[in-house]
């Protein structure tokens, strides 16, 4: 249980009474281990995504199966013409083509390749600039180890300390139909939790964090390993598990997109809940709530 550390009124300063409706009360919400995992994970995921986009730029198409070539039908593609005077680019999903001129698939000039299309502009990639497969792979492998070690340590901590049980496992009352409906409506209306409700993870938070930590992130690692010849030599069962290297590459890309969408929603909710308060909590551990008679 989270215990209040003090009770401070926004206008009059400290209040000695244990219950002081309307006062600001700081609670120790996040342990040092959780805060360290969060920021190391945030940095490593960002650099993994940027270096992954650099790798994707060298072949901006997705396929299914074991092998693929430029002549093989693809299920996804970012392309365009290579005329810098009349730039045009698009994103194709199946048979649906969407114009992305000025956003994705720009034509860029390089000393080695001349005018060429890249899926993602240089400012989104690591290293910055088009067509650096070697640099992209080097950054990707470096940050993969940071991501993997940080995640493995957090998994051990989460199970041993009971963090996952307390914060990620939904409680029975949260799984009732009415509670689920109210929680969904509450989020759709972009409402801010107040009082004691702001201290606990609601159902959607618990489900989202569980999905990301226990499904999406391990799947990203496994599909990434399936694209590595050295990993396949050690774990040959990975390729049939994902029905081929190209299917694994497609899943890897889609899982990365789902992670980006999670981060976007997460940031929106941070602003809704109070940006300064949430950043303070994940940096110092202390989260401030305005108390009321129900707390």
Are 128 and 47 spatial neighbours (Cβ–Cβ below 8 Å)? no
Residue the block writes with tokens 């890309």: 253
Which is it for strands 8-9 and 114-117: parallel, antiparallel or unpaired?
Answer: unpaired
Every domain of the chain and the residues it spans: 61-117
The structure's pTM equals: 0.84
pLDDT at position 136 is 94
Q: What is the 3-state secondary structure (H, E, C) of the chain?
A: CCCECCCEECCCEECCCCCCCCCEEEEECCCHHHHHHHHHHHHHHHHHHHHHHHHHHCCCEECCCCCCCCCCCCCEEEEECCCCCCCCEEEEECCEEEECCCCCCCEEEECCCEEEECCCCHHHCCCCCCCCHHHHHHHHHHHHHHHHHHHHHHHHHHHHHCHHHHHCCCCHHHHCHHHHHHHHHHHHCCCCCCHHHHHCCCHHHHHHHHHHHHHHHHHHHHHHHHCCHHHHHHCCCHHHHCCCHHHHHHHHHHHHHHHHHHHHHHHHHHHHHCHHHHHHHHHHCEEEEECCCCC
114-173 pLDDT tens trace: 567 788 988 999 998 777 889 999 999 999 999 999 999 999 999 999 999 999 988 888
- The residue assigned the tokens 């399936």 is 226
Residues of the chain with pLDDT under 70: 1-23, 109-115, 194-196, 291-295
Question: In this predicted structure, what is the pLDDT of residue 19?
Answer: 52
């Amino acid at each position: 249980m989270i215990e209040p550390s003090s009770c401070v009124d926004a206008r009059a300063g400290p209040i000695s009474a244990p219950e002081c409706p309307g006062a600001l009360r700081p609670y120790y919400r996040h342990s040092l281990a959780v805060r360290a995992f969060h920021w190391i994970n945030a940095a490593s995921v960002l650099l993994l995504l940027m270096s992954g986009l650099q790798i994707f730029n060298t072949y901006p198409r997705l396929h299914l199966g074991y092998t693929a070539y430029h002549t093989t039908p693809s299920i996804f593609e970012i392309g365009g013409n290579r005329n810098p005077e009349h730039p045009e680019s698009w994103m194709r999903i199946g048979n649906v083509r969407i114009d992305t001129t000025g956003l994705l698939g720009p034509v860029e000039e390089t000393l080695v390749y001349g005018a060429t299309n890249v899926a993602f502009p240089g400012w989104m990639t690591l290293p910055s600039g088009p067509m650096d497969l070697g640099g992209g792979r080097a950054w990707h492998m470096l940050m993969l180890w940071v991501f993997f070690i940080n995640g493995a340590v957090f998994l051990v901590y989460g199970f041993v300390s009971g963090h996952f049980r307390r914060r990620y496992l939904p409680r029975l009352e949260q799984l009732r139909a009415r509670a689920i409906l109210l929680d969904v409506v509450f989020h759709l209306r972009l409402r801010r939790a107040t009082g004691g409700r702001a201290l606990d993870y609601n159902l959607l938070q618990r489900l989202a964090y569980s999905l990301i930590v226990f499904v999406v992130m391990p799947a990203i690692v496994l599909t990434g390993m399936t694209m590595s010849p050295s990993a396949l030599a050690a774990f040959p069962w990975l390729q049939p598990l994902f029905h081929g290297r190209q299917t694994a590459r497609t899943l890897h890309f889609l899982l990365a997109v789902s992670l980006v969408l999670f981060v976007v929603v997460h940031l929106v909710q941070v602003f809704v809940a109070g940006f300064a308060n949430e950043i303070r909590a994940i940096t110092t551990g202390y989260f401030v709530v305005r108390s009321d008679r129900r707390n």
